[in-house]
Structure 1
């Protein structure tokens, strides 16, 4: 196979009115090695995110011990440092999301990974609490930017008929990292293997090593041709897609079928934030309500379970603190399996059926779990089994929230829309969630924990009902058909974007 992965050398952008069939050519491509390269280069960073978050939670106790090499308390790690990580993720998503729509996907997904790698490496060198706090914020800043840059690039490069399952599975790999983080912490915190002041540093160092490997693959991932032809780089988009087609034809040994449909674009170099805001909330208000409902619902359900899972196990079921990592690994496995096994159905049965059903099922099952817990019918193992079933559906639903906001708004607003809804969901989960659930899940009162479950379940069910009425039929449809680009001009021939409606 020839090497179509790298973008053509950048040249000056020139604006004008052009007619292109680049979107239809990308959507009619069969799955190929080129697509695998995109998935591996862009998607594997969620493993790092899961590894990062889980590891820090598990090493909090070690960092606070005498001899760790860092003067910090466990409460500061799980409180101040966690809040700063969340704040950094929200700020990074919004900042890099704006830059991604303005300067392109490739530049930003390289920069955001570099920020993450640098901040993680410097976290490993922490010698005082302020240093640790600073680089936790910057690590979150890089991760937040990843969500906007990568989800927008993936959706614009993956063919429409595969987009749903690929997006869900990629976002779901966060939980593969969570499993690794839970198990890794058990090894790294074993003082028979590593000294107290070294094991936790090596854990962060491993994240850097994995990130460098991803960076080597990612440098071959191209710029989005969709972004290129809108921003005055139509020749580069044509050259890139032609090289991809040539490589796939060589790989398959047969010519590709002709692409059908063109779109006419009035190219522009940048789009103002005011235009983006008016588009998302003025032209597509129902889709904005849908995005907010999905992100807030999943954030509260996850915090109802995961924020206090360790306290619940130790308080009500006498599980030793050192053993909770094993239970979390099992819960994370349930989360991972949801998108893996259900992802294809989002492309076949459709978005509305699957989004609403995963949200409603997970919410209703959490209500059942709350009732069983209240009745005293559960032990540590059966409680974990209930959580696994709930999160099997919730994980697919939560991943579909990212899919939804990345495909239902115009191309020029995509990264910023992802960033905004991600920031709202992350803030709800990382700020409101702890405030709501901290005392409830740690009080030692059964009724308080039941209430926490019921709050999360109620908001998840409410989001599912919103999806019943507002979810967009986006399966197997071109992105330009779901939401016409703001730059669309009257088409010279049948354009795939012409049927997109503002809702």
Structure 2
């Protein structure tokens, strides 16, 4: 509970055990509600990106109802979506830290729903491009608001696996987008100017379902007590405890400690920047390395995926979607099967090993491809193995930046590193890899693979040196809030044991 700190110099400090009470909760239906209400947005992102890539050819055809070329869809529209995601992450990330997680994750979903619905109604290229930007704007905001809320509501001993699986669910959306496009673009079922619109309409329907669940997701009690709403935080946690005790038919164990803070209504951007880059410079380097490394590895493969199959292995353009579905499944299985190890073996071991393994395996794939030892099936199998590890690593990048900085900076830190990684993938990626993988020269594609593999490997080495041992630890133990006044005699707010440096 929250109360004035004993022995404090003034009456502006409050001691609270809210973080410890949240971290010692057993897994329950309440946590499933959070995962479904917040985590499923990544499925929408995967659906969006895959659908646009798959409908590019149809939109460029006569009778589609939209006078655009395939190059404009994969070029201008894709770049605007990326730019919108970067801008939305930064804009909504700042608002999320200032005004709360719940308020913003409702707003960002509303932005996404509105923009996607308007995209389905596109009648001119400028309209389509405008709402692709705004769709990305909403999705980018979702990343900041959702990741911060999830990490603050999920118990510390489950945080790693839950975060990884949720971020990896992007690939479920990618699989769904591929299969949906096959049906919606079938002119025997839907007219050419209707089918592609239905793909976006389905995104709206899924978003509305998520909205119905999300309206029951509460504000983060951690955000509430930091911002002077201790009574609200206390009431919310007490209600959740009673619900879980009734569900489990048992009493909860006592919390493991308290933290003393000075509640603040807002914290300036300058304070946030100084905290992230001056107080935690090694962690900032770690975050940048992880995001840039995974962005370049993914773009080394995905920007040339279709061209490599059609140019070097004579796969029909109409069949590449099946290969993509297989690769997407491998991407999802990585976080799903490896996620638990991030909470047991630990962050440093798993982050560094997934990055290093995926980088080294891509080097191996490049060598086999250069020798002419691969066909379409074995190339796809190699990609699946590489991305099985890379997907877990990429998901751990989001986990890392969401838990290694103070609570007041969390959403903004996620937004900043996400924007850097997304820009690297969406801007530098096409410039570096597009021409290489389209040239038809084996050596150019090998070079693209090696660039992505080298940066991923380098990020893995950075993780070996700088990764933070965050497994099983309270967020307040990993990085004390800016508003923290002192620790109680009980130690950290973690229910898992004493504080560690």
TM-score, normalised to structure 1, is 0.96
Residue in 2 that maps onto 1:444: 440
Residue in 2 that maps onto 1:242: 238
Contact 1:263 1:494 in 2 (8 A): no
Per-residue deviation, residues 337-379 of structure 1 (Å, max 9, x unmatched): 0000000000000000000000000000000000110011111
Residue in 1 that maps onto 2:280: 284
> By how many angstroms is 1:494 displaced?
2.6
> By how many angstroms is 1:17 displaced?
1.5
Per-residue deviation, residues 453-494 of structure 1 (Å, max 9, x unmatched): 000000000000000000000000000000000000123433
> By how many angstroms is 1:308 displaced?
1.1
Q: Distance in 1 between matches of 2:492 and 2:166?
A: 27
Q: Residues 44-83 of structure 1 correspond to what in structure 2 (within 5 A)? A: 44-83=40-79
Contact 1:20 1:263 in 2 (8 A): yes
Q: Residues 124-273 of structure 1 correspond to what in structure 2 (within 5 A)? A: 124-273=120-269
Q: Distance in 1 between matches of 2:400 and 2:363?
A: 26
Residue in 2 that maps onto 1:10: none
Contact 1:16 1:232 in 2 (8 A): no
Q: Residues 29-48 of structure 1 correspond to what in structure 2 (within 5 A)? A: 29-48=25-44
Moved more, 482-491 or 167-176: 482-491
2:370 alignment partner, one of 364, 367, 374 = 374
1:314 alignment partner, one of 293, 307, 310 = 310
Per-residue deviation, residues 61-82 of structure 1 (Å, max 9, x unmatched): 0000000000000000000000
1:466 alignment partner, one of 459, 462, 467 = 462
| Matched length | 487
Contact 1:484 1:500 in 2 (8 A): no
Residue in 1 that maps onto 2:86: 90
Q: Distance in 2 between matches of 1:119 and 1:325?
A: 26
Residue in 2 that maps onto 1:100: 96
Contact 1:46 1:177 in 2 (8 A): yes
1:453 equivalenced with 2:444 (yes/no): no
> By how many angstroms is 1:500 displaced?
6.6
Moved beyond 2 Å, runs of 4+: 490-495, 497-501
Residue in 2 that maps onto 1:6: none
Contact 1:359 1:394 in 2 (8 A): yes
Contact 1:314 1:321 in 2 (8 A): yes
Q: Secondary structure at the match of 2:484?
A: coil
TM-score, normalised to structure 2, is 0.96
Q: Distance in 2 between matches of 1:281 and 1:63?
A: 45
> By how many angstroms is 1:410 displaced?
0.2
Q: Distance in 2 between matches of 1:294 and 1:210?
A: 31
Residue in 1 that maps onto 2:108: 112
Q: Distance in 2 between matches of 1:451 and 1:491?
A: 52
1:338 equivalenced with 2:338 (yes/no): no
Q: Distance in 2 between matches of 1:426 and 1:65?
A: 30
Per-residue deviation, residues 63-104 of structure 1 (Å, max 9, x unmatched): 000000000000000000000000000000000000000000
Q: Secondary structure at the match of 1:336?
A: helix
Q: Distance in 1 between matches of 2:12 and 2:36?
A: 35
> By how many angstroms is 1:499 displaced?
4.5
Unpaired stretches in structure 1, ≥5 consecutive residues: 1-14
Q: Secondary structure at the match of 1:257?
A: coil
Q: Distance in 1 between matches of 2:166 and 2:97?
A: 21
Q: Distance in 2 between matches of 1:17 and 1:58?
A: 56
Q: Distance in 2 between matches of 1:52 and 1:260?
A: 43
> By how many angstroms is 1:183 displaced?
1.1
C-alpha RMSD over aligned residues: 1.0
Q: Distance in 1 between matches of 2:486 and 2:211?
A: 40
Unpaired stretches in structure 2, ≥5 consecutive residues: 1-10
Q: Distance in 2 between matches of 1:249 and 1:494?
A: 24
